[in-house]
């Protein structure tokens, strides 16, 4: 379960719709890094932890320079996960304010993902009162590689530091024979929950940092669909409906 859970985390965080604003040339590299990223993230997210928090993820820029800063909310419990994203909070040269404004007019600027074990991934778009079920791909080979790497993870304590106001033990996480590395800070007063992780693989660096952490079971509503939301066939159907809605509003404004 742990390897699948971690792989879902890696897939969602690195392949969310907003990430498509990144240069598509970077996608193959991300795919090739998925097994290691999943293994490293298994130190960050666990199917046995229950909490809510804010997370800021930094993705590397395809051509160098400043990476994308992706702040989102997360809730996790008993293998259930929810990510909530507002594009207005994303910082990236690939997503300028005018692009965000256009997306907001279409009602697509806010979204959240719900993952429940054994069920399709659900993308919910509050601005359209719609949701889409997105069957997870079947990357059996990647899952097997991730599981194998998780089984070989080695941790070495590097010292103690304070991260985001939390006392933490700093660890180096490596897999023998793999050139990837990860540094993990586990908060001693938060049941050793990792509050920060920096992953380096193939000269690319990914960072996640938690804030506003609340341990304990999230409310059941975090993992439930809002009442009255309509299921759409796929994401293209939602986008087309949003475009028509924006166009109709624009035409109405001219009258």
Of 213, 225, 226, nearest to 74 by C-alpha is 213
CA gap 43, 3 in Å, rounded: 11
Q: Would you call 98 exposed, middle or buried from its count of C-beta atoms within 10 A (0-12, 13-18, 19+)? A: exposed
Phi-psi map region of 155: left, alpha, beta (phi>0 left; psi -120 to 50 alpha)? beta
Q: What is the pLDDT of residue 185?
A: 94
Q: Is the pLDDT of residue 4 over 70?
A: no
Are 33 and 179 in contact by the 8 Å Cβ rule? The answer is no
pLDDT band of 46, cuts 50, 70, 90: low
Of 221, 230, 51, 52, nearest to 124 by C-alpha is 230
Q: Which residue has the tokens 């279409």?
A: 106
* Pairing relationship of beta strands 181-187 and 166-174 according to DSSP bridges: antiparallel
HSE of 191, CA atoms in CB hemisphere, 13 A:
11
pLDDT band of 217, cuts 50, 70, 90: very high
* Residue 160 CB neighbour total at 10 angstroms: 11
The whole-number average pLDDT for the span 62-73 is 77
The secondary element (H helix, E strand) that includes residue 23 is: none
Q: What is the pLDDT of residue 250?
A: 59
Q: Is the pLDDT of residue 47 over 50?
A: yes
CA gap 162, 115 in Å, rounded: 32
DSSP 8-state assignment for residue 220: G
Inter-helix orientation angle 27-41/140-151, to 10°: 40
The Cα diameter of the chain in Å comes to 67
Q: Is the pLDDT of residue 137 over 60?
A: no
DSSP 8-state assignment for residue 95: S
The gap between the terminal CA atoms of the chain, to the nearest Å, is: 57
CA gap 168, 162 in Å, rounded: 6
């Amino acid at each position: 379960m742990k390897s699948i859970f971690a792989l879902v985390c890696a897939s969602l965080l690195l392949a969310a719709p907003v990430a498509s604003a990144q240069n598509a040339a970077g996608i193959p590299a991300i795919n090739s890094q998925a097994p290691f990223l999943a293994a490293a993230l298994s130190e960050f997210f666990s199917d046995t932890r229950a909490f809510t928090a804010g997370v800021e993820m930094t993705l590397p820029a395809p051509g160098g320079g400043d990476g994308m800063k992706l702040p989102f909310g997360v809730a996790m419990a008993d293998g259930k996960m929810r990510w909530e994203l507002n594009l207005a909070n994303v910082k990236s040269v690939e997503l300028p304010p005018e692009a965000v404004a256009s997306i907001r007019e279409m009602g697509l600027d806010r979204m959240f993902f719900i993952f429940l074990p054994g069920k399709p991934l659900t993308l919910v778009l509050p601005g359209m009162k719609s949701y889409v079920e997105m069957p997870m791909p079947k990357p059996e080979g990647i899952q097997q590689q991730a599981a194998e790497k998780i089984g070989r993870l080695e941790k070495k304590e590097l010292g103690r530091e304070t991260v985001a106001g939390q006392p933490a033990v700093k660890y180096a996480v490596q897999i023998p024979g793999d050139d990837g590395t990860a540094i993990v800070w586990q908060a001693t007063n938060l049941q050793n929950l990792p509050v920060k992780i920096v992953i380096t693989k193939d000269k690319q660096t990914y960072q996640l940092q938690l804030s506003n952490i609340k341990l304990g079971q999230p409310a059941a509503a975090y993992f439930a669909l809002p009442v009255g939301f309509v299921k759409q066939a796929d994401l293209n159907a939602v986008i087309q409906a949003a475009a028509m809605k924006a166009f109709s509003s624009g035409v109405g404004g001219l009258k």
